[in-house]
Structure 1
Amino acid sequence: MISKNKILVVDDAKSVAGHIKGLLIPRYTAKAVYSGEEALEILPSFMPDLVLLDTVMTGIDGYEVCKRIRESGSFGFMKIIMISSRKTLEERLRGYEAGIDDHLGKPFEAEELLAKVKVFLRLKTVEDQLHELNAKLNDQVKLRTAQLLDAEKMAALGRHAAGIVHNLNNPLQAILGVTQVLAVKHPRSKDILSLETAAIQMRDIITTILTASRKQSHEHMVDIDLNQVVCEQVELFKSNQFFKHKIQVDMDLEPLPPFQGIYVHFSQCMGNLLKNGAEAMYASTTRRLSISSRQESHGITISISDTGTGISEEDHKKLFDPFFSTKPLVAEGDTPTGTGLGLAYCKEIIESYGGRILVDSKSDKGSRFTIRLPVNTKA
């Protein structure tokens, strides 16, 4: 069986080059050239693992060929064995200084040549494998470092958020109290009902953040109807005049099994995705928000699609990074703004339940966000 290793024989004596090539052919892929110039020309395309190089040649000699190979830096761990009739220590040292890996004197024994070839090809294979492993480890270190930085950002945000939301409790209780009084006086007012629903949701969000900061969020796990969460969020957004009058909402919701989780986690996620979809269509002539749910073999799938501006390939890579947003932080009028936290929060929450959030989007073609969750209902 012929090895995949490739060997280039360089010798201006065609009989010698042919003899060496003949020794190699049964085991390796070998080529022979007859000058230093030919060797330098064929190297980039042939990319041998090992070069058997004569010292004294017409034109560019072996030392110069070796020197140019090493200086180019384009041939990785390619091995070079110099085969020469010059056997003095001075000549060998000159070769090592030029960059050879070993030296073999002429005349040579075929067994010694093949043994050296085998040793240095094995060495190159190991060095290639180590280089590949090192590259993979570097990529993994970079990825893990980025993950740790993102986690630290979210942890810092959580610590600050806990302090901020604690101070929001008192004014929110006042708002909720007034809306509940108004709801009693005007029980048929949809606007007051929407205001009360929004205030209750804010209260639940604040409670969840504070509870999570005390590491007690597991106490609030309940069976959730995810379709109901979607419907409630859509109804809540209808209090927004742009959403209510300028966006067509199409819903195709199939029955789903109950999902064990914290309700406010999913109300926030659905709310963030609906908000993003609506705001992506701010400048669109066609504004259609399509929402679907399915129970599939892998679990539960919920998709939210819009006909908005879409996401560029460059922004797609950073979409779930904390604090990254394609929208400005502040803007005039009713132009959508963003903090870059909504999608990062959604990704963190969905993944904490063993799920995934996927995005399919192209510039000016709209976007589709898909949540996939495993069925986790208790038996």
Structure 2
Amino acid sequence: MQPQSKILIVDDYPANVEILKKIFGSHYELATAASGDEALVEARDFRPDIILLDVMMPGMDGYETCRQLRATPDLAHTKILMVSAKARLEERLQGYDAGADDYIIKPFDPHELRAKVNVYAQLKSLQEVDRLKSNILSLLNHELRTPLNSVLGPLQLLRRKRDLSPLKQQELLETAYHSVTNLNELIEKTMLLVELKAGLRDLRLMSSRLESIVRQSIDDVTPQALERDIDIQLDAADVSAIHADRALLGRVVVTLLENAIRFSPASESVRVCVGEAGANVCLTVQDRGKGIEPDILPSLFEGLVTTDSLHHRDGQGLNLAIASQIMRRHGGRIEVESQVGAGSMFTLRLPVEPA
């Protein structure tokens, strides 16, 4: 199942918003904002593929909103279409100078607008595929060297030195085996991320309870927690059911738990909470580790472009990117709050299962 492209509608006039909802609601995932300030916040959370941006709004106008959107790294590749009754050439040029990809004049023809948005959605998808290819090549070039050398080195010794003791031969074979295993995991994670981003991985959705998935995930990571004397404290409220792929969502929870265990000081505790907030079921995983540097946070869930060695070690950057994509495919999102020296808190938000 191909995931729907996401459109953020920014307009302070409710009637205009409703018109755009009718045009795009059946084929796109929609979010709305009624001001420039609200659009900046919503865009960072919603991560739209396309923004339909009104020019005339109270407070921050569409031009300044567009400039600030373009200055946000996470939204650099989002397609911005300005929609306005201002039709003079200098006004259209002002929109392009602010960073808009297109300028649509009101009143517009719904069929033409839909066709334009479809084109930009396809263009963004193609550009994402190109970036994905480039990032994969860069990642593999960077990440494959160490495990390949760890395989080739022991095998070369085994070929050249026939008089090695059985114990030494076994050590070299174990080293090569573990390196091949790590290499295989890296390739599998990369392929899963590609499949999720491209919409090639179908979800097996069923009515589920988040608490049940969390408890199973805690059981899965308990051996790792015991090794470091980490206490996992679960606080689970009675919450609504969700529509979820249990295996994929369990993978997300395990990723967060493993990260918390890895980066927590030995003999510390990790707090896990399941609750409900509005139309969402929520999970928080909080550790007391050293936290994440502020400059890393914006790209933390972009596994194919993360350059930080600490959070990319052992495929962790890929794990978080995979988690982000799984949450998006579930109609949810993943968030992080972190303070250097005080720890990190990851939050999952999933929509309540429709009645």
What's the TM-score bracket when you normalise by the shorter of the two chains? 0.3 to 0.5
Larger radius of gyration, structure 1 or 2? 1
State the TM-score, normalizing by the size of structure 1. Answer: 0.44
Q: Which structure ranks higher in relative contact order (CA pairs < 8 Å, sequence separation ≥ 6)?
A: 2
